[in-house]
Structure 1
């Protein structure tokens, strides 16, 4: 086509570009299995609130999604190819997780979007009806994938207005818990509502929905994964207007004392660290970093004898909980009098002389400070985690100095957990990670609000190692 200009010349015009057509999003409908919509199911569901349903109200609902069009397989495939997986690790858990699915793109992930909408509408309305609990509009959900060595330690989910926790599984059809691990474990509780032993456990069965009511006693965990088979799920919480403030558990009670006894260090501690020249070198390094690692700290013959005594006497260790805080075996010194070399080292660590040595190596005044000494046996399943009560205690303890002495025969696999990790209160980024190493001493200067935990020692753990920890509290800090 040509048109005339004002001066009469003909000029060609360009045809307008066709508008790009919007691609329509086809959302496949997802529905609850009709048998769970029948009137008699409501009465059956409400039996789950009975006291007989121990250890707290929970439900396992098999074949939850009506799957005549293989919708479960389609959602699973899209979730497996999801690019939004992020590695999440802290004191409580290790897994791959997505962001909350409320922000998911329906064009990019139509099936995951459909499943999210299914949870937001049909499942929420159904749960409100069968439970008799009035729910608010808020629904949280995200994808989770546990791989080998991943786990989620005991906790109760009690945050804000959470009312029902849910997990919908998209695992392999022939899931074998003995081979794969990954069961959901529900815990009994004591009179103080602290978790004790496993009451029930459920395999993550394909197309099953686990629901439980969130409360002070809804303690549960995901058992460690021991195979490479992915444990895939969409999980989250339905909310109500109810709000329960969680209780703070007590801080672990560890005896504190002011060192008064004297002890000769020369036959126990490597003479290298007893010379003034080496002490000055170490102190300078410590001043620059506020932490250091000293290899070959004990006299090697003493290190070997201590290890031999401790590895041969597991009955002298007592396991401490509760499991939502820790699972760690501590040496009972009342039973260990016959461990000659171990007792010599303990006397050394509790002495005024060791406090003076720590001061010379670090430049921190610790003589006269309250002190504690613990001996832990670290093996598969050992951990301790953090809570608000630990942050309160850290702030009350002021500036501290930790000395960690590792007694072990072999090197420890870095992927086996069992690391000591320091973080700041309210932060997620690690300040320091200490890996176990034979006959090494790690010394750390701690500011108020800095906390430490032991990462869960997983199935890659080999022989146990032993951790001697000396802590000096409210130490004096001399400003330059």
Structure 2
């Protein structure tokens, strides 16, 4: 029922060995009888269950491994197809690649609907050696859903598209799985669904998963003196409101401060951001965002002043006061706050944490800062390397300040999700809201991702000033010792 098209089966040379930066090949009209593939598609559509799979890297519907589908004996077309893949196709791939593949086969059915995508990744896992995808329907460039293969830079990070193909019925693509095999599936834009069967052939040896780490360098906080009243709205300096926010933070470990900047300052910043020059920043397997490239060092611009403000020790002190995380010595910059605390308008010092100094704590204190813009196609991912970095940084106070002229919905993407490592449930979700500063206390295994911004967002965009203080001592005491 299933046979390889003679066009490909009679190829004597290895058709993919000259491809760079990794071995890959597209094979149009791969199966000799297209009618048999149509029967397979119908069987998958009508009789095999697809489940939604969604995380920071992808969103699509997929089957379990097709070899484990229940009542496989009642799916004769699928049964014959699996045997065809395990024998004829595997042997053909061995001939084309020279790889010593085992009998192991991993294979699933995938269905992408409008808005679905798969972001850049290299497929490396366990003993995978050759990846493949066989398309079950046609799609145009306007439909989206194309497969994109990336080149690599000196660190073997994805760097520029070297090949892009829209799905075409009965086309097979296969490629070697390696540290250079970066690829993605572009977002599906139209009503047409993207149907395929895909998976991997394996070898005995385990693949080396080592990769060059992407590090965010810490900054040195500046000693510049700022007048809070020049930047922050009156609400941010109101004793009673700050006392309430502090109680809320101690209860929930995060707060949202609305109307963070004064209206006139906010408007000037927005104008400055619109006039700024931007460049796209990666690497793509970690994040895609835009950073200012034209006015960062211009000390007279309002955006430069705000950047310096966010990188100041003085603002860190403000966040220390408002959260009760006394990770710095508070020199009484905000006198009214000290008075309020004496009058019991503010709770006593929090027992949650204190920034490490030379005499206490195990984690080295540090601060990271990033100012960036996000729009359609942008995202931020998490992986094992990010987890290792987060654990090494220890407990952190994460501050994200958003500027946007748009109303963001969940379907647009672009929101921040805080997730615990190895857990599926979301701890906290933060939408980008204009002039709102979110302050979140992060435990070492807490990761923050930014959901892919899809076509539903249209022309929406936002800017974010993100400062994070790391190396805070872990919580001490227990609930019985906490103040009422």
Fold shared by both chains (TM-score > 0.5) = yes
Task: Answer whether contact 2:114 2:192 (CA < 8 A) is retained.
Answer: yes
Equivalent of 2:254, from 270, 291, 298?
291
Provide closer, same or farther for how the CA distance between residues 470 and 203 of structure 1 changes in structure 2, counting only shifts above 3 A: same
Any gaps of 5 or more consecutive residues in structure 2? 329-354, 356-364, 477-481
Within the candidate set 365, 370, 377, 2:366 is matched to: 370
Q: Which runs of 5+ in 1 are unaligned?
A: 1-28
CA offsets 1:143-175 (integer angstroms, 9 cap, x no match): 111122222111111212111100000123xx2
- Among candidates 424, 430, 438, match of residue 434 of structure 1: 430
- Please tell me whether residue 71 in structure 1 is matched to residue 54 in structure 2: no
User: 1:15 matched to which residue of 2?
Assistant: none
1:176 aligns to what?
140
Instruction: Give the match for residue 467 of structure 2.
Output: 470
Worse-superposed segment, 73-82 or 440-449: 73-82
Assess if the C-alpha contact under 8 Å between 2:15 and 2:96 holds in 1. no
Shift of 1:119: 1.6
**Is the CA contact 1:306–1:341 (under 8 Å) kept in the aligned structure 2?**
yes
2:388 to 352, 369, 392: 392
Q: Which residue of 2 aligns with 1:16?
A: none
Is the Cα–Cα contact under 8 Å of residues 78 and 112 in structure 1 kept in the other structure? Answer: yes
CA shift in 2, pair 1:131/1:439, >3 Å? same
With the length of structure 1 as denominator, give the TM-score of the two structures: 0.86
Q: Deviations over 1:37-85 (max 9, x none)?
A: 33xx132xx14112xx2332111111112226x2222222222335522
Deviation at 1:332, TM superposition (A): 4.2
Aligned ranges 1:20-419 → 2 under 5 Å? 29-38=1-10, 41-43=11-13, 46-50=14-18, 53-67=19-33, 70-82=35-47, 84-104=49-69, 105-172=71-138, 175-177=139-141, 179-313=142-276, 315=277, 317-332=278-293, 335=296, 337=298, 340-367=301-328, 370-419=366-415
Specify the alignment match of 2:445 in structure 1: 449
Return the alpha-carbon distance in structure 1 between the equivalents of residues 171 and 53 of structure 2.
25
Task: After TM superposition, give the deviation of residue 274 of structure 1 in Å.
Answer: 1.2
Output one character per residue of 1:395-436: Cα deviation in whole Å (capped at 9) or x when no partner: 111100011100011212321211212222233332222111
1:473 counterpart SS class: strand
| Distance in 1 between residues matched to 2:160 and 2:126, nearest whole Å | 26
- Output the aligned Cα RMSD: 2.1
TM-score, length-normalised on structure 2?
A: 0.85
In the aligned structure 2, how far is the partner of 1:162 from the partner of 1:155?
14
**Contact 2:221/2:312 (<8 A) preserved:** no
2:137 and 2:168 in contact (8 A); partners too? yes
Alpha-carbon spacing, 1:300–1:115, altered in 2? closer, same or farther (3 Å): farther
| Contact 2:16–2:96 (CA under 8 A) maintained in structure 1 | no
Could you say if the C-alpha distance between residues 478 and 33 of structure 1 is closer, same or farther in structure 2, counting changes exceeding 3 Å?
closer
What is the deviation of 1:291? 1.7
Distance 1:139 1:312, change over 3 A: same
Q: How many residues align?
A: 440
- Cα drift, residue 199 of structure 1: 0.8
SS in 2 for 1:49: coil
* CA-CA distance at 1:108 after TM superposition: 4.9
Contact 1:204–1:231, Cα closer than 8 Å, also in 2: yes
